[in-house]
Structure 1
Amino acid sequence: MAVSVPALMKVAELVEDGALRLAERPVPRVPDGWSLIRVRAAGVCGTELHFLEGLLDPMGIPRVLGHEVAGEVTGARTGSSGSRVAVYNVMNCGSCRYCNTNRDRLCAHSLGMIGFTADGGFAEYVVVPERNLVPVPGSVSLEAAAVLACSGMTAVHAVRLAGLGIGDPVVVNGIGGVGLMLVQVAALAGATVLAVADETAKLDLAQNLGARAGLLIDDPEGYETLPEEAIRMMGRAPDVFFETVGTRETMRAGFGCLAPGGSFVQIGYTSQPLDIHPGALIKNELRILTSAAGSRNDLETAIALASQDRLAVVIANRTDLDGLPEAIQSLRDRHVLGRNVIRYESG
C-alpha cells in the first residue's frame, strides 16, 4: 500500500557559530539505489557536541545532524516499504579491500557518513543508500535500534579490535552511552571489567550491566591514583584500557595502568593531545589502537545481541525535536545515564 509522504518536514539543523535551528525543509527525493526513511528515533550522541563546538567539520552548513537513526522504509526502489530498519551510518562502497575485510569505516571510496557529512536523523525523514539499511526484529524497539546504530556497534567494533580474551582484566573509562555498551560487550567476551565514572549512579548502572567493579573519579587529579587503584581492585594491571573521556589526565592514566603488552584503545574524538614518551611504549610493548564507528557486521551483531536480551540499551530521556537543545545541554553537563533519544510520533 502506498504511503503518503508530506512535501515538507521538520528538522533541527546546525548553522553558523555552532547553533542549532529548528526549520522546515522539503522531504528529500529518493535517488536510484537509495531509500527514504521515516525516522522514528534518533539517538543524541556526544559526537553532536564536537560538531557544535567546531571539533568536527560537517562539510557544509546548514547540516542536519543525527547519526543514530532507526525508522521505517517509506520510499524505495525495491518495494520494501514499511520495513523496520536501523541505519548504518557509514556510506561505504561495499566492494573495496576494506569493505571486503569487515573494515567498512575505512572504505577507499566512501561517500561520507550520515549525520556527519550528509544530512542525518534529526529530521522527520532521511534518505540513505539501500545498502545501509539493517533489518530490526520485532523484539528490538526502534528507539533501542537507533542507539545500537552508533554506541552499540562502536562497542562491538572496539572489543573485537582489542582482541579480548576470557578473564582479561580491562578498564572502561567513562560510563556514557558508549561506555555502558563497552562494559556489556567486554563482559560478554569474557573480560573482567572495571568501570571508571564521575558519578555513583553511573557506576551502579555499569555494575548492574556486567562490570565486576566500579571506581569513582570525579575530578582530574583523581586519575593520578588510577594505576594503583586498578591493580588493587583487579588483582593485577589491566590488559586493555578503553578510553572514552579523552583528556590529558585520563589518557596519561590509561597508559600508566596497563600491564606489559597491554592495549590502549582510544574511542571517539578529543581536542586534547596524547602525551607519552615513546620509550614508555617500547619498554613494555604497549599498543595504541584507535576505534571509530564500526562495520555493518558490527551493527548487525549489536542488534542480534539485543534481540537475545544479551545487550541492554539504557535510554535516559525521550523528547521530540523541540527538546533537542535540552538533551544536548544535559550531555554537556555530563548527567546522562545512558542515551537521550529524539522520538517521533507514530501515525
Structure 2
Amino acid sequence: MNLFFPPAIYLFFLILGTMISVSSSSLFGMWMGLEINLMSFIPLIINIEMNKKSTESAIKYFLIQAMTSSTIIFSSMFFFIFNGSLFLLSPNIIITLALCMKLGMAPFHFWFPEVLEGLNWINSFILLTWQKISPLIILSMIFHPKSLMVMALISAIIGAISGINQTSMRKIMAFSSISHLGWISSIMFMNSSSWMIYFFIYCLTSFILCLSFWFLNLNYFSQLSMLKNLNEKLIIFINLLSLGGLPPLLGFLPKWIAMISMKNSFPILIILIISSLITLYFYTRLCFSTFTLVFQNTTWIQKKTSKKNSSPWEFWHYFL
C-alpha cells in the first residue's frame, strides 16, 4: 500500500498537532490539535508495507482516540452550556477520565498493549513518548484531583503486576509505560512541574531501548538469549534497569525527584515505591535469565531482511 504523501509529511503534521494542543489557550484549540495529531499518526501506523497487525492496531487506535476526543469536546460544550456541574457531575471528571483513557492509564489500559504489539519499533517509540505529550500537558492544566490520584495508583500497580508474565518486549514496554504514567500523574496531583523532568528522562531511556531493539531485531524475551555480543546485552539491560529506576542509574533521578515532591503524602509514596520494586523484579529476572541461559540450537530460523538489518545511518530514510 502506497501512502498519498511521504511519511515525512505525516510526521510534520504529527508535530504540528502537538504544538497546536500545547500552545492553545482554549479547549477547542486543544481538541483540534489532538485531532490533527490522531489523523497524522494513523498513516504512520499502517506504514508503506501494510499487514494485518498494523491495520488492526490502526483501527483500535483510531476508535479509542476518536471516542476520547469526542468525549473531551462534549465535556467542553457541557461546561460552557451549563456553566458548571450538572447532576453532581463535574466536567473536569469527564475530561480527566477521557485524557487518562487517551494516555492508556489503568483501568482504561486494555487497548494500549494490543495496539503497541502490532507496531514496528519506530512507531512504538512515537506512541510511547510523543503521543503522550499533548494529553499530559492538557491533563496538567485540567484535572479532577481525586479521580487523577485514584487512576495514578491503579496504573502504577497494574502496570507493575501485568508485566511480570509477559514475553513480548513490546508488551513489557507498554506495561512499563502504564506504571510510569502512575508516577507522572502522582507528581501532577502534587501540583509540581517536575513531572516534565520525569517524562523527559523516560523518553530518553525509551528512545535508546526502542532503537536497540530495532537495530538488533529483538521482539521477544527468548531472542535476548541468542545475542552473541556481550556489549549488546549490557546496553539493553543497563537501559532496562534504568527504566525501572535502579540506583545509581539515570532512571532513578526522576523517581528521587518525585519522592522529594511527595514527601508529605507518605501512603501514596509507599504504593508507588512497591510498584517500582515489582517492575525492577521482572527486569532483573530478564537480566539474569539472559546472561545465564544459552540456547545451543535455535528452534526457528530468524528471517533477516535488508530493512531490519539496516545501519543506524539509514534511520532517517524511514521518514523520507
The TM-score normalised by the length of structure 1 is 0.25
Structure holding more strand per residue: 1
